[in-house]
Amino acid sequence: MPFTKYFEHRQCEKDIYRLWEESGAFRANADSGRPPFTISMPPPNATGTLHMGHAIGKAVEDLMIRWRRMSGDEALWVPGTDHAAIATESVVIRRLQAEGMKDPRSELGREELVSRIADFVTESRSSIRSQIRALGASCDWTRERYTMEPALNRCVNSVFARMFRDGLIYRGMRIVNWDPALQTTVSDDEIYYKDRQAEFYTMRYGPFLVGTSRPESKLGDTAVAVHPEDERWREHIGKTYEVAWPKGPTITVRVVGDRHVDPETGTGALGVTPAHSQIDFEIAQQHHLPLIQVIDEQGRMTKAAGPYAGMTVLQCRKAFVADLQEAGLMEKVESYVQPISLCYRSKQPIEPLPKKQWFIDVNKPAVLWEGKRQSLRQVMRSVVESGQIRLLPEHEEKTYFHWIDNLRDWCISRQIWWGHRVPVWYRGAKVSDGNVDQAEETYVGHRKPEGPGWVQDPDTLDTWFSSALWTWSTLADPQAALDEELDLDQILERSPDFQRFHPTAVMETAYDILFFWVARMILMTTYSTGQIPFHTVYLHGLILDRDGEKMSKSKPETCIDPLDTIEEYGADALRLAMVLGNSAGTDLKLGQDKIVACKRLINKIWNASKLVERTSEGRQDVELSREGVGHPLNQWMLTRRNALVQLVDRRMQAFAFGDAAEQVRSSFWGEFCDFYLEAIKVEELSKLPETVAVASRTLDDYLKLFHPFMPFLTEQVWGNLKRPGMIIRADWPRVDTALDWPQDANAVQAVVRAVAAVRSMRVEQGIDPGSPVNLRLEPRLNPSIFESCRAVIEKLARTSQLEITDGQPGEPDEKASVAVDEAWRISLSMSAADLEAERLRLAKQLEGGRKRLQSLQSRLENPGFLNNAPAQTVEAARADAAKLQATLEEIQGRLDSLG
């Protein structure tokens, strides 16, 4: 395809992606002898839409895969989608309700609702696939997986059964985080806290004053806890009191001594509500206290709340407080800021409730790891402490260890219908409101037991349970996984991809799901496979808007939609904009201006490639050799190419991808385009056969270095230049010591600095870039190099007269501008004729500017314009006038300086 004026991304990107995919460029070969490099794509929700969080993740993962593929690794990037249990069920239920169905659960029943959700997911998955393709993700679509597919469901069930047999999974009554809005439990890590203004109530019952922010929960108190050494309350320990609330009910509380109570907090007496507080539940377990539930799953008061039954929590609080005040039992009410717990999915308050749930025991020493029995918590700490797993940025290790130190048993059951159903069956069980009790027989396994009367547990598993198996379950052979006679170890033994590509190399994801997902993958994979899931965890930061705030659709002027951006500017511009200036764990401000700047770089690469193509037209290819490269400038370019390759390799190995991209960008723009390509237009250089070979070799290597960051553009240019094969499968550049002249290159670098200095002096003196100047160059080092580059200096510095001395200082010119470097001294001046031409140019520029300013000022003095034009237009005109005035003053200053 010939070069067009611009890189037309809309015409090229889909065709290029199709070419990659159809050629098998993304496909990893499990039988090759290359070292494996594997990334498991964090699975986006099957019903989701690509957002900037997805985009930055896919860009970073893809650049790693492309880099390692070109470097000779057998690179495998496993794509897939997540069934996203709660989120997906909520979406479908809301849709059905919008279509007129009042209660989809009761009207459709479990089987039909699950079927409709599955149909919806099937339709939606194709959308997220196309969006991932639009970004240029070079993942192996032949290995695409889905967390709810049969093979992965088998892995989930087998792990559950094994953990149950090992005593790591149990069912018990605990205080759980209940979301009344979603009607299910949520894990500790699915909760966030938000401060709000609230009241703190101090109430009297019996001989005690007890403080609480939730007076309605006191209707379910069964004890008062005090510190056993608190003299104020010691005599009450062990006693029982009847407390009659103003309008009922009457509660019975026992006073218990507990060392967890802080005597300095409040009155030192803590009302214990075992059914609605995790801490209180633990106190109740220790002291064998009864449990009274006064709040139900809908967030309403139960019959145990007496006259307040049926009220919402807030209605009961208002009524109960009024009754206490009327009875004189409310000691005081104080305002304070309270952190309220909210579900991150529904954004609604969490209600602590007692429920029988399935849990994973994180403290039982039941895991054989590195020769000794350890708990899941211990293994999770060990693999990071020992360096087997590296977290980037490294400061996240402290956060990770803090989370482990405070880790409680993981509640893995959910009261929804969409998801992996708990693989437990009961016979002779009592089923009430979805709860199963008093079963005569219980069976746990990956398939339904034989015989009549078996009823499966109605709960589903936490989405993170199946996602925690992602790195290895996606590599399990589907056929082996569906063989019911094989156990988990046998399945993995018969899975070539697992044997070849696990553990994976890198897990790239957002730092805000370190605990949701990353930690749980470590927990479940070390237990299930005896391997770590990955060697390195790269945590990217958030993409913020240009003001440093989280992107929101409510601020369309700063919110960037990745799909719209790809349509307007192309995937490459978006990808590079997200990577440049980015580093692990750091939030990145991203505005439209940065994307536009990256688009300009794309145009620069396109135009530079066209120039190299024209330069080589009709010229015979020359094999580069040390003996065949004689001009210092060509030697410099190849030496700089070596230095760049070495530097980029170090930065890529260190996961400093933003810095690596910047090094390639600045070298390409400054050294290759602004200096070398301009220099080789000089006749003595352009006619050398070596010059064409050096320009082509260097451009090829720049394209390869750019490819992980901008794959579409580089592939198109590679094809336009008629290079062999596709760049996606080309070899990553390596340092070529045979084509390296560090000493001579340093001397040429001094020439580069000299040209840059002249350009800066022109700007400082207000001399037009095209106006010729007189230049006196006094080399302090390597004068022969300066002389050999004379023609280059004359062209790039735009000289009318160039004097290169023999190193001896000449007569000083008082009117000359001077610049000094360790390798040279430069004096820049203009001839009388050139000075006069420059004065005429500036005078003409000044005259035209004054006319434009006069026109602007007249417009701003016109009442019709001021009264009728939009305020923004008037302000823009004023700004233009002020800017033009400043420019004219600057031109006048330049003119005055010329005399």
Question: Which pLDDT belongs to residue 681?
Answer: 93
pLDDT digits (tens, 9 = 90+) for 435-481: 777 778 999 999 999 999 899 999 999 999 999 999 999 999 999 99
Write the burial class of residue 366 (CB in 10 Å: 0-12 exposed, 13-18 middle, 19+ buried).
middle
DSSP string, 717-742: HHHHTT-SS-GGGSPPP---GGG--H
Question: Which pLDDT belongs to residue 431?
Answer: 67
| Residues 700/723, Cβ–Cβ less than 8 Å | yes
pLDDT, mean of residues 596-611: 96
Look at residue 812 and tell me whether its pLDDT is greater than 60.
no
Label residue 553 by pLDDT band (50, 70, 90): low
pLDDT digits (tens, 9 = 90+) for 155-169: 999 999 999 999 999
Residue (of 475, 505, 506) closest to 493 by Cα position? 475
Question: Which pLDDT belongs to residue 185?
Answer: 87
pLDDT digits (tens, 9 = 90+) for 483-505: 999 999 999 999 999 999 999 99
Question: Which pLDDT belongs to residue 856?
Answer: 85
- Please tell me the distance from the alpha carbon of residue 741 to that of residue 720, in angstroms, as a whole number: 31
pLDDT digits (tens, 9 = 90+) for 641-699: 999 999 999 999 999 999 999 999 999 999 999 999 999 999 989 989 999 999 999 99
CA distance to 99, 350, 836, 848, 852, per residue, from 881 (Å): 58, 58, 29, 14, 9
Measure CA of the first residue to CA of the last residue in the chain; give whole Å. 55
Torsion of CA 169, 171, 177, 178, to 10 degrees: 130
Structure tokens that stand for 191 in this block: 């909760």
Question: Which pLDDT belongs to residue 831?
Answer: 65
Length of the chain: 899
pLDDT, mean of residues 304-330: 95
- Please tell me the distance from the alpha carbon of residue 282 to that of residue 268, in angstroms, as a whole number: 18
| Residues 271/196, Cβ–Cβ less than 8 Å | no
Question: Which pLDDT belongs to residue 806?
Answer: 76
Q: Are strands 460-461 and 36-40 parallel, antiparallel or unpaired?
A: unpaired
Least confident among 176-190, 489-503, 605-619 = 176-190
Look at residue 17 and tell me whether its pLDDT is greater than 60.
yes
- Please tell me the distance from the alpha carbon of residue 685 to that of residue 683, in angstroms, as a whole number: 5
Structure tokens that stand for 395 in this block: 């400061």
Placement of tokens 């001839």 in the chain: 831
CA distance to 415, 865, 866, 879, 883, per residue, from 860 (Å): 68, 7, 7, 11, 14
Look at residue 833 and tell me whether its pLDDT is greater than 60.
no
Question: Which pLDDT belongs to residue 808?
Answer: 63
| Residues 446/432, Cβ–Cβ less than 8 Å | no
- Angle between the N-to-C axes of helices 790-797 and 742-765, in degrees from 0 to 180, rounded to the nearest 10: 30
pLDDT digits (tens, 9 = 90+) for 42-81: 999 887 778 888 899 999 999 999 999 999 999 999 999 9
Question: Which pLDDT belongs to residue 638?
Answer: 97
Question: Which pLDDT belongs to residue 764?
Answer: 82
Label residue 434 by pLDDT band (50, 70, 90): low
pLDDT digits (tens, 9 = 90+) for 207-266: 899 999 999 999 999 999 999 999 999 999 999 999 999 998 999 999 999 988 898 888
Looking at the chain, the whole-number percentage of residues with pLDDT higher than 90 is 69
DSSP string, 249-266: -EEEEEEEE-TTS-TTST
- Angle between the N-to-C axes of helices 592-616 and 562-569, in degrees from 0 to 180, rounded to the nearest 10: 30
> φ, ψ for residue 339 (rounded to 5)?
-80, 115
- Angle between the N-to-C axes of helices 104-134 and 562-569, in degrees from 0 to 180, rounded to the nearest 10: 30
Question: Which pLDDT belongs to residue 432?
Answer: 64
Q: Amino acid letter at 126?
A: S
Question: Which pLDDT belongs to residue 714?
Answer: 98
Question: Which pLDDT belongs to residue 834?
Answer: 66
Structure tokens that stand for 424 in this block: 């437990």
What is the H or E stretch that residue 683 is in?
helix 683-686
Label residue 705 by pLDDT band (50, 70, 90): very high
Structure tokens that stand for 121 in this block: 């997911």
Look at residue 818 and tell me whether its pLDDT is greater than 70.
yes
Write the burial class of residue 342 (CB in 10 Å: 0-12 exposed, 13-18 middle, 19+ buried).
middle
Label residue 845 by pLDDT band (50, 70, 90): confident
- Please tell me the distance from the alpha carbon of residue 728 to that of residue 303, in angstroms, as a whole number: 68
What pTM was estimated for this model as a whole? 0.84
Buried b (16+ CB within 10 A) or exposed e, 226-243: bbeebeebeebbeeebeb
- Please tell me the distance from the alpha carbon of residue 589 to that of residue 586, in angstroms, as a whole number: 10
Question: Which pLDDT belongs to residue 39?
Answer: 98
Q: How many CB atoms lie within 10 A of CB 73?
A: 19
| Residues 474/145, Cβ–Cβ less than 8 Å | yes
Look at residue 841 and tell me whether its pLDDT is greater than 80.
no
- Please tell me the distance from the alpha carbon of residue 85 to that of residue 461, in angstroms, as a whole number: 9
Q: Amino acid letter at 754?
A: A
Residue (of 746, 747, 727) closest to 788 by Cα position? 747
The number of C-alpha atoms within 13 Å of 796 and in the hemisphere containing its C-beta is 26
Least confident among 282-286, 585-589, 894-898 = 894-898
- Please tell me the distance from the alpha carbon of residue 518 to that of residue 467, in angstroms, as a whole number: 10
- Please tell me the distance from the alpha carbon of residue 897 to that of residue 782, in angstroms, as a whole number: 35
Label residue 523 by pLDDT band (50, 70, 90): very high
- Please tell me the distance from the alpha carbon of residue 635 to that of residue 676, in angstroms, as a whole number: 11
Please give the mean pLDDT across all residues of the chain: 91
Question: Which pLDDT belongs to residue 866?
Answer: 83
Buried b (16+ CB within 10 A) or exposed e, 17-55: beebbeeebbebebeeeeebbbbbbbbbbbbbebbbbbb
